[in-house]
Structure 1
Amino acid sequence: MILYHTDPGSPVIEISVEGKITDHDLRAAIERMRGDLELNGKTRVLERIEHFTGIEPKALWTDLTLGVPLARRITRAAVVADAGWIHASMHLARFFTKAEVKAFHVNELEEARAWINA
């Protein structure tokens, strides 16, 4: 499941991922992000990932073909996650975005919000 939140006029998007990512949910989030990027130009993303159980193969392809081009337009990304492997994989982000990326543990959510807004 993907929950997408942004305040009107804010350059910050907050995305919560829990459980399994479906292609339908991912496409909806990508479309909303595309619209926010058009409105705000430079955008920052805070992504919370908890209890992640996987991604549909079709959604993985959608992420590579539609999500990666959008990721290149993000200026800063905070990833808040409960799984150590997600933190360890953050070095791979440099292949998909030029954004400054920083990982946080779930108990550091407020620190992540402060960093993304700095």
Structure 2
Amino acid sequence: MIETSIDRENNLIIATARDMLSEADFENLSGTINDYINSTDRAPGIVLNAEGLPHWKNAAALFAHLKLVRDHQNVLPKVALVSDSTALSVMPSLVDHFVKAKVRHFAQEDMSKAVEWAETVDDDASAIKMIGGLPADVIAYEVTGTLSSHDYKDVLTPLVEEKLKTHDKIKILAVFGDEFDGATASALWDDAWLGLGHIAAFSKLAVVSDIDWIRHGCRIFGPLIPAQLHVFDMSALDGAKEWIKS
């Protein structure tokens, strides 16, 4: 069963999933979303609240779920998954590269934060926030919001190329905290090209984050990078700054 509530003032639909989910549940949710868009001419943020991991009642329910995703993946701006289920907690990192909507997981106790995030209207500002107070050969920044191709083409790549005019090697300190919402597919492509195009230019890379998929990715790809790579917890940001300066 899926129960929905609509907050028109904040452009939000909250869907609470309980027990077995049927074909009709997904069709009704799809209809609610479509009716909202048609009546307001706005695409709402979605909060999916599930205390546990919901189950499909049958194959028809599964196909209705897939149809819901297919029909709305390029329309909805944000989807907040609220659950203490371990399986649902890894979903954002799996689907972020396949759907246009920004997807983020929240613990059950953080329902209010999920609602606040889902109703936020984003602007086109850069996700890159520079961190000062470090040596000239260090590029230090925090990523907030969604990392896009714009951030690489207009901010990071020009900065790297400018630093290389006066330094043979440069160092990177990148912070991914609670405000990081993931990266677009085009940003991932630009990230790969930035790394390949300047693979010998970096002497040290410090990644500061408590996000599991970022930390796992560093462990997997770290051995392929000629630079020294070290991953720090968010609580060890000061230690990361000291390490990158040495």
TM value normalised by structure 2: 0.44
Structure 2 distance, partners of 1:9, 1:24, is: 26
Q: Is the CA contact 1:13–1:43 (under 8 Å) kept in the aligned structure 2?
A: yes
Moved segments of 4+, more than 6 Å: none
Which piece of structure 1 moves more, 7-16 or 20-29?
Answer: 7-16
CA contact (8 A) 1:2 1:26 kept: no
**Which structure 1 residue ranges, 5 or more long, are not aligned?**
none
Q: Unaligned 5+ residue runs, structure 2?
A: 1-126
The Cα RMSD (Å) is 2.0
**Structure richer in strand, relative to its length:** 1
Residue identity opposite 1:15 in structure 2: Y
* Residue matched to 1:109: 237
Task: Look up the match of 1:50.
Answer: 177
Looking at structure 2, the residues matched to 34 and 6 of structure 1 have their Cα atoms a distance apart, in angstroms, of 18
What residue number does 1:82 align with?
210
* 1:21 counterpart (144, 147, 153): 147
- Count of aligned positions: 117
Select the structure with the greater relative contact order (CA < 8 A; seq sep ≥ 6).
Answer: 1
1:12 is matched with which residue? 138
Q: Structure 2: how far apart are the matches of 1:11 and 1:75? A: 10
Q: Distance in 1 between matches of 2:214 and 2:134?
A: 30
Q: Bigger shift: 71-80 or 8-17? A: 8-17
Q: What is the CA–CA distance in structure 2 between the aligned matches of 1:15 and 1:87, rounded to whole Å?
A: 17
Task: Output the CA distance in 2 between the equivalents of 1:7 and 1:93.
Answer: 26
Computing the radius of gyration from Cα coordinates, the structure with the larger value is 2
CA distance in 2, matches of 1:108, 1:74: 22
TM-superposed deviation, 1:73: 1.2
Match of 1:38, SS state, is coil
Aligned identity (percent) is 26
Q: What is aligned with 1:3?
A: 129
1:34 CA drift (Å)? 1.3
Q: Which amino acid aligns with 2:222?
A: A
Cα distance between partner residues in 2 of 1:90 and 1:77: 10
Identify the structure with the greater helix proportion. 1
Question: Deviations 1:6-58 (Å, cap 9, x if unpaired)?
Answer: 66971111021122111111212111111112222211111111132221112
SS of aligned partner of 2:197: helix
